[in-house]
Structure 1
Amino acid sequence: MRLFQNSGISPSYRTRLAGLVAGIRGFDQQKEVFLNDRYGAAHILLPVYAGNPEAFFTNGDDESLQRAWALEHGLGEHASLADILLAQIEHHKTDIFYNLDPFRYDASFVRRLPAHVKRKIAWRAAPGKIDFSGYDLVVCNFPSMRKIWEEQGARTAHFFPAHDPELDTVAANRDRDIDVLFFGGYSRHHQRRRQILEAVAGLSSRRRVVFHLDLSRYTPLAETPLGWFGPLRMVRRPSAIRAVSAPPVFGRAMYEQLGRAKIVVNASIDMAGPDRGNMRCFEAMGAGTLLVSDSGIYPAPMRDGETIAVYEHPHDAAEKIESQLDAGSWDEIGRAGHRAIREEFSKQRQFERFLELA
């Protein structure tokens, strides 16, 4: 089975990646640097990390990476990223195309795929209207999201992120100097998250609280006097949050921070449905921290009071965090969470499920 996995990188990660690959020109060399940094590792399939020669991986929106391949294979310098991706699939003689970026590479791209591609599978776990026609299957781990895609005419199936075994070393460290850690986006879509973070930031007078925020591009303007007016108020951080804010972290830099944290607080975005179990849950539990997350429908291994702690409202989150730190129970539940995620959501199980779908 010749597997082609396409992923993508967020705008905020590009600066870090550019620094990591500075001076590296080759496609394979750039790709290895990316894979070693473990960005998005929960979604990258086992054969890619194992170096299986029949598995091809790329980030179809990474211009530096893609143009390196194009140069090595004689494509013109003006070839589009879509044309380069298509050429890679043709060169690889792909059987199964697994796409983590269907927003960029939707049905219009799928219709161009060569006949040797027998199966087209897309991952999507976020709201938004996408043309999935041409894809055989759309997968994610949120039933409510799958229902949306089915109503748009797509065939769907349950699939899930996986534990990154690189986090096992992180989880083994129990000497942690950050009491409460958060990392994630902060934009107009995060108003409920803002309330939760503001309540948790209130603990900073007696606890070490660190928020690595990926800010909206409008936030710097919103935090000038102009931010008191109109819609900019939606992305202006309250002073309590600003006091504990730090730049965003990604890849192994994020893993390093996870290894310092006793508790990681998680908060769904405003557009999320009742389902829970986003990638942050897998990363936090995989690192052996205590995941304190908002109420909802979780996968079976994520159990309140046993492997995670669940809160109902913003002030409840702060109270739950305080009680876990006071009692020292963050350590026991964090260890249990790591064991559960490692056993139930291993890379091997993830790939076995993928084979069933493919």
Structure 2
Amino acid sequence: MRVFQNNGLSRGFRSHRSKLRGDAFREQISNFLNSRFAALHILLPVLEGDALAFYTNGDDDQLQAAWAREHGLRTRDLTEILLAQIEHHNTEVFYNLDPMLYGSDFVRRLPGCVRQAICWRAAPSGNVDLSGYDLVVCNFPSILQDWQQKGCRTAYFSPAYDSLMSDYAGSAERSLDLIFVGGFSRHHVARTAALSEAASLEGVRARFHLEEGRLTRLANAFPFVPVLKKHAYPLRVRELTAGPVYGREMYAEFANARIVLNGAVDMAGPDRGNMRCFEATGCGSVLLTDAGNYPDGFIDGKTMVTYSSPDQIPALVGRLLSDPAWALSIAQAGHNMVQCEYSKQRQWLRFRELV
């Protein structure tokens, strides 16, 4: 199977990517894959360097310009470059992690070699049309149901354990008690409440690595503007905040913390299972997360700990820190579960089934 996987970079990672040096397309891709950004979504053949698999970040103008230059393509248009890459690769299956940028209009322009077009979308997306795709996948049943109602074929598909996490999961020296890594925006009201509760804990060594939404970034810069004030970091949260981390840097931060705090985006409904669930357990930390409908294997009190409301966080953190044996049992069970049940091999077998 000749599979082509396309992804998009988050706004925060775009500034971070300057660390990934390289001029040639292959060098840039190698450095990107080695960073482990979004590795849970990247298919096994890509990570293993299979000659039949091709990967790119279609919204990365520097990366795509390198490919165009190396192949004599005289355009800077990212859509045209991506189409040329797919045709050059002679792709049979196009798997797109960035359908908000490349929707049905793009699918209709795919070269004739493409037999199937599949996309991942795990968020409500307004009036975006994905009906041109043969299949829309994610691990949120309610979102899949929403896409079905819009006329799309759908299937359940999960992130997978990154084998490099095993290098971090066995860390015994964890200098932080609690850590959070994720976005902070107007779409994270419930998450903001959870962070505020965690920030209020006395004697707990905590750190928050936050990626600001556009409105939050503006509010933090001008907190004295009344209309923006509600979107800024609460004072105690600001005191514990560091810059965002991604990939290997995030793995290292998780390996340095006993507890990873998680909270769903407000628009997720009752379903749970964002990437942080797999990353926290994968790196051997206790996942402390909001209650909801989780993927198989994520069990409260066994492989993770859940809170029904943010005000329960202080007591749960206190119990986990005062009972290290209990905390360690949950961390180990969570890691063993995600390593076994959500391996890259299983993810790839499931993808082949869908195709």
TM range (shorter): over 0.9
Which residue among 43, 46, 49 is the counterpart of 2:44?
46
Structure 2 SS opposite 1:235: coil
Using the alignment, how far apart are the partners of 1:324 and 1:122 within structure 2? 39
* Structure 1 counterpart of 2:125, from 111, 116, 128: 128
TM-score by length of 1: 0.96
CA distance in 2, matches of 1:19, 1:170: 22
Distance 2:223 2:118 in 1: 45
Q: Note the aligned Cα RMSD (angstroms).
A: 1.2
Please tell me whether residue 313 in structure 1 is matched to residue 309 in structure 2. Answer: yes
Change (3 A) 1:299 1:224: closer
TM-score (norm 2): 0.97
Secondary structure, aligned partner of 2:163: coil
1:28/1:223 Cα in 2 relative to 1: closer, same or farther (>3 Å)?
closer
From 61, 64, 79, the counterpart of 1:63: 61
What corresponds to 2:173 in structure 1?
A: 175
Could you tell me which residue of structure 2 aligns to residue 14 of structure 1?
14
Q: How does 1:168-317 map to 2 (within 5 A)?
A: 168-203=166-201, 205-223=202-220, 226-227=223-224, 229-230=226-227, 232-317=228-313
Question: Partners in 2 of 1:285 and 1:262 — Cα distance?
Answer: 11
Q: C-alpha offsets along residues 269-303 of structure 1, whole Å, 9 cap, x if unaligned?
A: 11111111110000000000000000000112100
Instruction: Give 3-state SS (helix, strand or coil) of 1:166's partner.
Output: helix
User: Which residue of the other structure, out of 115, 139, 142, is the alignment partner of 2:140?
Assistant: 142
Q: Distance in 2 between matches of 1:290 and 1:14?
A: 29
Residue 88 in 1 paired to residue 106 in 2?
Answer: no
Q: How many residues matched? A: 353
1:217 is displaced (CA, Å) by 3.0
Q: Percent of aligned pairs with the same residue?
A: 48
* Inter-partner Cα distance in structure 1 for 2:311 and 2:279: 24
| Per-residue deviation, 1:118 | 0.3
Aligned to 1:161: 159
Tell me the alpha carbon deviations over residues 203-247 of structure 1, each in whole angstroms, 9 at most, x when there is no partner: 1x30100000111233354246654512x1331111111111111
Whole-angstrom distance in 1 between the partners of 2:254 and 2:218 = 30
Q: 1:100 aligns with which of 97, 104, 111?
A: 97
Aligned-partner Cα distance in 2 for 1:199–1:13 = 27
Question: Any stretches of 5+ residues in structure 2 without a counterpart?
Answer: none
- In the alignment, structure 1 residue 323 sits paired with structure 2 residue 319: yes
Please list every run of 5 or more consecutive structure 1 residues that lacks an aligned counterpart in the other structure.
none
| Residues 107-122 of structure 1 mapped to structure 2, 5 A cutoff | 107-122=104-119
C-alpha distance in 2 between matches for 1:160 and 1:217: 29
Cα distance, 1:79 vs. partner?
A: 3.2
Aligned-partner SS, 1:281: helix
- Find the aligned partners of 1:83 and 1:265 in 2 and give their Cα distance: 41
After TM superposition, give the deviation of residue 72 of structure 1 in Å: 0.4
The amino acid that maps onto 2:47 is Y
Q: Provide the C-alpha distance between the structure 2 equivalents of 1:219 and 1:138, rounded to a whole number of angstroms.
A: 31
Q: Quick one: distance in 1 between partners of 2:112 and 2:35?
A: 34
